[in-house]
Chains A and B, each alone.
Chain A
Amino acid sequence: MGDTLQEEAIKNGGTLLGADELVLNMGPQHPSTHGVLRVKLKLDGERVRGTECVIGYLHRGVEKIAESRSYQQFAPYVDRMDYVAAVSNGLGYCEAVEKLLNVEAPPRARVIRTILTELQRIASHLVWLGTHAMDIGAISPIFYCFREREEILKIFEKYCGARLTTHAFRIGGLQYEAYDGFEKDVERFCLDFERRIQEYVDLLTGNSIWMGRTRNVGVLNTADCIALGASGPVLRASGLKWDLRKAQPYAAYDQYKFEIPVGTNGDTYDRYMVRIEEMRQSRLICLQAIEKIPEGAILGKVGKVLKPQPGEIYHSIEAPKGILGYYIVSDGTTQPYRVRIRPPSFVNLQAFDKMVRGHLVADVVAIIGTLDIVLGEVDR
């Protein structure tokens, strides 16, 4: 009854009880705005009547920096955008420059790239799941998630010496050969992981509080997703099967069998289910990939100094958070003329206002969580 009253009042342009609108500044220092997002909420009681996202607190001018670095020098910078999925960023950038140079990474490099990227996808989803559950008030899953993420980061560390901002790939292939026992480590993790996913599912999926907090919260249908440019799990949860790994295969994805999970409602619960299922599929991809890693070189024929022909290229990959695109313009020198990055978090964040309007304050954090934004990527 209270809801309908309030909705009536809102329709008539007033607030219930005739009180003033409350403007709540959420962030940039707030436990659950995932970094330095600032959201100005216009509240009627606890109901959100309008939002305004203020971004840019983490702006470092990554795209501008690219113009004064050589192609190779810029590669580590992309790791600092989506810092919970650095490997995926690196993959997108390396492949874009390879496309520009018209070289191809050798098959072995492509398979190892696929394995690492899928592990990174799992790691990124684990961070999302932990923080999302934390936002909704379940304080335990984050520790389970980080326990598994730790395993993945250990594999990264063994492979390239870094855990977070890995700079794992090189333009044209890989810098490092896979270490001894790489396959075994990945296999051990993957075999163990199925049981671990089940733990999160047991804690959350059937929980009535969890369902109450996520069902019909932040609904975004397919048309809205397309209109707002939302991609990745946000788009797939609304029911559209659009995954660049299938639609425009890159790396070695065309060699493996996997499924694209989709939701029906496009609400927070569907996005949760989609991401959980994606972790399972990534695990399957990794298992298929380590079965047969082709032998051969790991670095294609690229020179020490990269000097692409003048021209422009757009290459996009399916990063854990959505479509990550690189648009690179070359003027024939060793440095790019312009690099424009399409970060999935930035575009997905556009949908925030549409999703959150009419919901309660508690849903705001649930929706920020379900969008799975990383402010390093939003602000660049």
Chain B
Amino acid sequence: MNPTLHAILIFLQTWWVELVSGVVIVAVVPLVAGYLVLMERKLMADMQARLGPMRVGPHGLLQPIADAFKLLIKEDIIPADADKLIFWLAPVISMVAALTAMGAIAFGPAFQVARDINVGILFVVGVSSLGFLGIILGGWASNSHYSIIGAIRSTAQLVSYETAGGLAIVSALLLSGTLSIRGIVDAQQKSGAWFIFLAPVAFFTYLVASIAETNRAPFDLPEAESELVAGYMTEYSGFRWALYFLGEYANMIVVGSVATTLFLGGWLRPFPNVHWLNWIEYLPAFFIAIVGVYCIYRAGKQPVAIQVAFMWAVALACFAIAAVLAAPWILHVLHKFGVAAPLNLDFTVPGLNGAFWFLLKVSVYIYVFMWLRFTLPRYRFDQLMHLGWYILIPLAIVNVLAVGVALLLESALGWNRWLAMVVTTIITMAFALFLVHLHDKRTAAASSAAAVTTDSYAG
């Protein structure tokens, strides 16, 4: 055989998983991000008493594709005085960083995109933080005042909140004792509880820090549309803008995955160690089947034929997914009735159900992001910095100490792990209250209470 061909074959044999997953990430994540945008718009519409996109496809389901198409065919504008090289490079950095970070995430015991490197969680966090370089450089290269203010805000925000987020991660790593993503989830299985229950303060800190890191409201100052037009992406349009946008949403998936892995038990189902609750494994299939039934019920009420067909399609898809998720149980039942199983499908349970739980948790995490965005006003820059440096970072530092002390109490003095954790968490929370109190005092010193009085002097 030709030696070159042979070498290529060997290469493909060793690396095909990585190659395929690379292609999958590049192909699928933008689509997922697009539908995340649709989901956000629909949720926002729901909370704002309106319908959201309804025109493209049934219930606006094809909107992301229409949007992507529109962005693709738009004129590509580069401002005359922009630094062309960096203007071109910046959105690419943003996007590539987010997609690369996804490479190390494990979506389930069977679905880790790339290999399980032993500094997995650091890899994800570190590489995703590179995306900020894209924001900063893009803001600078646009040669616009709005952009540069956005870029400067974004840098300061990154430096402040990355610290707090990093310290929160350290707390969880202390509990797990490993940096490998699989190891962290295994540690949670072994300890019998997700780390959110053992270190709630760390989870909260990470939640806030991750919102700030992904530039989401109420920390969306780098792109605050009412102040800076669009912040660092003011001068961007068309597909470069889309790259930034996709990068932002991919980043949301990344931080959601990190939080899920570290604090929410990764792909473990609720109560992973309680065996009599094993039926929880089949709940997802059950609920998806119910959604399918509901779709059939709704199909009869649709006014247009295509909508009826669409509802039926959704229902069938739901049934298919449910059947796959519940395959072992179905086979088991069939076996009881004397039908021989054509093949053993037990191995699908941990894989598919794990992925289901993982994606569910990530979705909930992202839902919280969106919910906050629709509810809260935006922080001002100095308030953001105060929150970061006066409250979150001291709290995160104290929390790392507290978790360390708790582990010491457990290992050296033989305390019950839960007791140690509860005690230290209460101490940390007291400290948090103290910090908030200090902060309030600082702001109250500057402001006297404002009150509105009503009075009538006539009538």
Binding site for B on A (CB under 8 A): 2-3, 22-25, 30-32, 46, 133-140, 143-144, 147, 203-204, 207, 209-210, 212-213, 215-216, 241, 246, 254, 256-265, 267, 269-270, 273-274, 277, 360-365
Asked if A362 meets B377 with Cβ closer than 8 Å, knowing A241-B455, A256-B459, A257-B456, the reply is no
User: Do B454 and A138 touch (CB < 8 A)?
Assistant: no
User: Do A213 and B378 touch (CB < 8 A)?
Assistant: yes
Closest 5 CB pairs of A and B: A137-B378, A143-B48, A273-B452, A32-B226, A138-B377
**In the complex, what's the smallest C-beta–C-beta distance from B142 to chain A, in angstroms?**
14
**In the complex, what's the smallest C-beta–C-beta distance from B176 to chain A, in angstroms?**
34
Interface of chain B residues 6 through 47 with chain A (CB within 8 A): 44, 47
Neighbour of A140 across the interface among B47, B145, B443, CB < 8 A: B47
Asked if A3 meets B382 with Cβ closer than 8 Å, knowing A209-B218, A241-B457, the reply is yes
| Chain A residues closer than 8 Å to B450, beta-carbon distance | 215, 263-265, 267, 269-270, 273
Asked if A270 meets B452 with Cβ closer than 8 Å, knowing A31-B226, A137-B220, A246-B457, the reply is yes
User: Do A139 and B374 touch (CB < 8 A)?
Assistant: yes
**In the complex, what's the smallest C-beta–C-beta distance from A100 to chain B, in angstroms?**
27
Binding site for A on B (CB under 8 A): 44, 47-50, 145-146, 149, 153, 217-218, 220-221, 224-229, 373-383, 385, 443, 446-448, 450-459
Q: Give Cα distance in the complex from A156 to B44, angstroms.
A: 29
Neighbour of B377 across the interface among A31, A133, A241, A361, CB < 8 A: A133
Q: Give Cα distance in the complex from A135 to B380, angstroms.
A: 12
**In the complex, what's the smallest C-beta–C-beta distance from A92 to chain B, in angstroms?**
21
Q: Give Cα distance in the complex from A139 to B47, angstroms.
A: 10
User: Do B459 and A361 touch (CB < 8 A)?
Assistant: no
User: Do B220 and A262 touch (CB < 8 A)?
Assistant: no
A sample of 6 inter-chain contacts (CB < 8 A) reads: A3-B382, A31-B225, A140-B44, A246-B459, A262-B453, A360-B380
| Chain B residues closer than 8 Å to A254, beta-carbon distance | 459
User: Do B218 and A137 touch (CB < 8 A)?
Assistant: yes
User: Do A365 and B226 touch (CB < 8 A)?
Assistant: yes
User: Do B454 and A140 touch (CB < 8 A)?
Assistant: no
Which among B153, B217, B227, B381 has the greatest number of chain A C-beta atoms within 10 A? Answer: B227
| Chain A residues closer than 8 Å to B448, beta-carbon distance | 265
What is the chain B residue whose CB lies nearest that of A215? B447
What is the chain A residue whose CB lies nearest that of B50? A143
User: Do A136 and B145 touch (CB < 8 A)?
Assistant: no
What is the chain A residue whose CB lies nearest that of B456? A259
Q: A31-B225, A209-B377 are in contact. List 13 more A-B contacts (CB 8 A).
A: A32-B226, A137-B377, A140-B375, A207-B376, A209-B383, A213-B377, A213-B378, A241-B457, A257-B456, A273-B452, A360-B382, A362-B378, A363-B380
